[in-house]
Amino acid sequence: MGTGLGRTRSVGLRGVHGFVVDVEAHVTPGLPGFAISGLGDSAVKQSSDRIKAAAALIDDMPVSQRRVTVNLSPAGERKIGTGFDLAIFVAVAAAMRLVPPAVVRDLVHIGEVGLDGTVRPVPGVLPLVRAAAMTGVRHVVVPVANAGEARLVSDVRVHPVADVTELVRRYDALGRGRAVEEVPVPLVVPPAPEPVRDLSEVVGQADAKLALEIAAAGGHHLLLAGPPGAGKTMLAERLPGLLPALDEAESMEVTAIHSVLGALGAGEDVRLITRPPFVAPHHGASQAAVIGGGSGHIRPGAITQAHRGVLFLDETPEFDKGVLQSLRTPLERGSVSIARAQETVTFPSRFQLVLAANPCPCGNGWGKGLDCTCTPLMRRSYFGKLSGPLLDRVDLQVHVQPPGLSMAGAPAGESTTSVAARVAGARDAQGERWREVLERRRGVNADVPGSVLRGRPWRLPSSATTTLDRALESGSLSLRGYDRTLRCAWTIADVMGLQRPGREEVDLALSLRHRAGVAA
C-alpha cells in the first residue's frame, strides 16, 4: 500500500542556463520522515513541508505518515529555489501510485507548490523550458502564470497547471484513458508599452546628436561630459531607439535573462523582448548589483541585464571605483565569470556603455569655468577615477553644452525613425565588410582591432590621415587614440554611405574626441 519508486524530471538553473534534473522519490511505510538529497539550498529543503501540506488535500496521499526519500540527480550540482516543488510532488505521487508512473516519468515539471495546493510561478521559466526542449523533452508542465513565457519556446508542448489536486485528477484520468481538458490560462492586460523617446524632443545639441548617431551605428562606447541640465541623460535614453532590433537568437537570450531576473510579466501575454534593453543603475549600486553575484544564489547584475543593449552610468565619477574597474573585463570579453569556492557562473554581458559625467564635482566647470568652486586637485581626482583603462575602451568622448536661449524656439530636429534608418544601413555595410575579419555576423566597427585598420587592405591613404598623423607626431594623441579615431572615421563614412573615410571624415572623428576636454 502506497509503496514504491516514482520518477519525473525538472530543470535547475545555473547562471542563465538550465540543466535537466531527474527527480526520484522512494516511499516506504517506515517511520515518518521526508529527506531530500542532491545539494539543494534551504528553499529546496523546505519543499518537504510544503508538499506535506499540499498532499494532505488529496485522498489516499498520507505523505506525512510515510518515509519519503527524494533524490535530485545529478546530485553534485547545486539546486536553487522553489521550482522543484512540483516535480518532487509528482514523483512522490507516482511512488504512491496516485498518478501513473509511466506517464509522468519523461515529463518535465516546474513550479512552486503552496500550502493550499496552488502551483505558483517561479523565475527563469523561459531558460528552463528551453533547456528541457534542447535535451529532447516534448512536454512540460508549468504554473499557469508562467504559461505564456514557456510558450515562447518552440518544439515543446506546454501544459499549464493551477492546482496539484486538479493535476493529480488529470493524470489519473489520463492513466484510465479518458480525455483530459487543458487548463485555460487567464488573459492578463499587458502593461502599457513604454512611451517611445524620440530624438526630435532634444533641442539643439547637434554635436551630441551626431555622436549619438555614430555611437549607435558603430557600436562605440560613449562618454557624455557636460554641466547639469545639458541633457546628457535625455540623450542617453534615446540611444536604444536608434539601435537596430534584436534578431531571433538575441531576443531569446535577452528575454531569458529578464526571465531569470523576474522582469517579465505573467500570464498569457508574454512576448519576446525585441528591442535592445536600456539599463541605468544608480551610482550607489554595489559591485554585486552591477557585475552580478550575491550571497548564496548568484544573480545576474546590471551588465547582464543590459546584454545586447545599453548600460548607462549617470554621474559615472560617483560610482565606486571598484565597480568601474570591474567593468573592464566584461567590456573586453562580452561575458563575466563569477567565481565562488563551489562553482563558477558565466553570464553574457555584451553591452554598449554610455557614461555621463559632470565636468567637475560642482558641475560648473565648463566653458571658461568662472562659476566653478572646485580646486584643481578636486577636478583632477574627479575625472581621475574615469581615466585610464576604462576610458581607453570608450571611442567617443564628447562635451555636451547646455542649450542657450536661442535654442528654445528652434524647430524640432530629426526624428528617431529617420536616424535609425541611417544607422541600420551603416550596420549592414559594416557586417558585410568585417564578416571575414571578425568571423561573425553583424560585426561593428567598434570590435575591429586597430592593427587591422592600420594594415592592408584597410589602411587609409596618407592624404586622408594628414591631420591625424600630425596629432600623433606632436604627441597630443596616443596610438590608442589614433586607432579609436580611425574606428569612428569608418563609422562616419558608413553613416554617410561612403566606401571609405576621406580626410573630412577623419578630421570630424578627431574633432569629436577633442571636444571631450577630459584627460583620456
Partner 1 sequence: MDLSTRDLGDYGERLACRYLLAQGLTIIDRNWRCARGEIDVVAVDGLELVVCEVKTRTSEAFGAPFEAVTWRKQRRLRRLAGLWRDEHDELARGLALRIDVISILRPRTGRASLEHLRGVC
Bin 388: left if φ > 0, else alpha if -120 < ψ < 50, else beta: left
**Does the footprint of partner 1 cover residue 49 (CB under 8 A)?**
no
Nearer residue to partner 1 within complex by CB, 31 or 405: 31
Nearer residue to partner 1 within complex by CB, 67 or 157: 67
Nearer residue to partner 1 within complex by CB, 65 or 417: 65
**Does the footprint of partner 1 cover residue 56 (CB under 8 A)?**
no
- How far is residue 149's CA from residue 273's CA, in Å, rounded to a whole number? 11
Nearer residue to partner 1 within complex by CB, 62 or 175: 62
Nearer residue to partner 1 within complex by CB, 52 or 399: 52
User: Least distance to partner 1 from the beta carbon of 30, Å?
Assistant: 6
**Does the footprint of partner 1 cover residue 31 (CB under 8 A)?**
yes
**Residue with the three cell numbers 542617453:** 236
Q: Give the per-residue SS3 of 179-202.
A: CCCCCCCCCCCCCCCCCCCCHHHC
Nearer residue to partner 1 within complex by CB, 65 or 375: 65
x/- letters, 422..461, toward partner 1 (CB under 8 A): ----------------------------------------
- How far is residue 207's CA from residue 413's CA, in Å, rounded to a whole number? 12
**Does the footprint of partner 1 cover residue 32 (CB under 8 A)?**
yes
**Does the footprint of partner 1 cover residue 46 (CB under 8 A)?**
no
HSE at residue 199, side-chain half, CA atoms within 13 A, is 24
Scanning 39-47, 57-65, 116-124, 428-436 for contacts with partner 1 by CB under 8 A, the matching segment is 57-65
User: Least distance to partner 1 from the beta carbon of 64, Å?
Assistant: 6
| Amino acid at residue number 442 | R
Nearer residue to partner 1 within complex by CB, 4 or 461: 4
- The three-class DSSP label of residue 223 is strand
Nearer residue to partner 1 within complex by CB, 29 or 497: 29
Nearer residue to partner 1 within complex by CB, 64 or 73: 64
Pairing verdict, β 67-73 and 310-313: unpaired
Of 4, 37, 65, 428, the one binding partner 1 (CB under 8 A) is: 65
Scanning 31-39, 122-130, 173-181, 418-426 for contacts with partner 1 by CB under 8 A, the matching segment is 31-39
Nearer residue to partner 1 within complex by CB, 31 or 377: 31
**Does the footprint of partner 1 cover residue 30 (CB under 8 A)?**
yes
User: Least distance to partner 1 from the beta carbon of 52, Å?
Assistant: 10
DSSP 70: E
Scanning 24-32, 70-78, 368-376, 420-428 for contacts with partner 1 by CB under 8 A, the matching segment is 24-32
Give me 456's grid cell. 592592408
User: Least distance to partner 1 from the beta carbon of 98, Å?
Assistant: 18
C-alpha dist (Å) from residue 80 to 34, 44, 340, 343, 387: 18, 7, 15, 13, 40
Scanning 28-36, 104-112, 381-389, 471-479 for contacts with partner 1 by CB under 8 A, the matching segment is 28-36
- How far is residue 12's CA from residue 430's CA, in Å, rounded to a whole number? 39
Of 5, 19, 53, 64, the one binding partner 1 (CB under 8 A) is: 64
- DSSP character string of 244-278: PPP-HHHHHHHHHHHHHTT-S--SS------SPPE
Of 14, 19, 62, 442, the one binding partner 1 (CB under 8 A) is: 62
Nearer residue to partner 1 within complex by CB, 47 or 491: 47
Cα torsion angle, 386, 392, 395, 401, sign: positive
CB burial string 333-370: b at 16+ within 10 A, e below: eebbebeeeeeebbbbbbbbbbbbbbbbbbbbbbeeee
Scanning 26-34, 173-181, 307-315, 498-506 for contacts with partner 1 by CB under 8 A, the matching segment is 26-34
Pairing verdict, β 335-339 and 344-348: antiparallel
> How many other C-beta atoms are found inside a 10 Å radius of the C-beta of residue 168?
21
| Amino acid at residue number 159 | H
Collect contacts of 497-504 with beta carbons under 8 A, ≥24 apart: 497/425, 497/429, 500/460, 500/464, 501/460, 501/464, 502/464, 503/463, 503/464, 503/465, 503/466, 503/467
Nearer residue to partner 1 within complex by CB, 31 or 370: 31
Scanning 29-37, 309-317, 342-350, 394-402 for contacts with partner 1 by CB under 8 A, the matching segment is 29-37
Give me 244's grid cell. 537596430
Scanning 12-20, 59-67, 106-114, 449-457 for contacts with partner 1 by CB under 8 A, the matching segment is 59-67
User: Least distance to partner 1 from the beta carbon of 33, Å?
Assistant: 7
**Does the footprint of partner 1 cover residue 2 (CB under 8 A)?**
no
End-to-end CA distance of the chain: 77
Residues engaged in binding partner 1 (CB under 8 A): 29-33, 62, 64-65
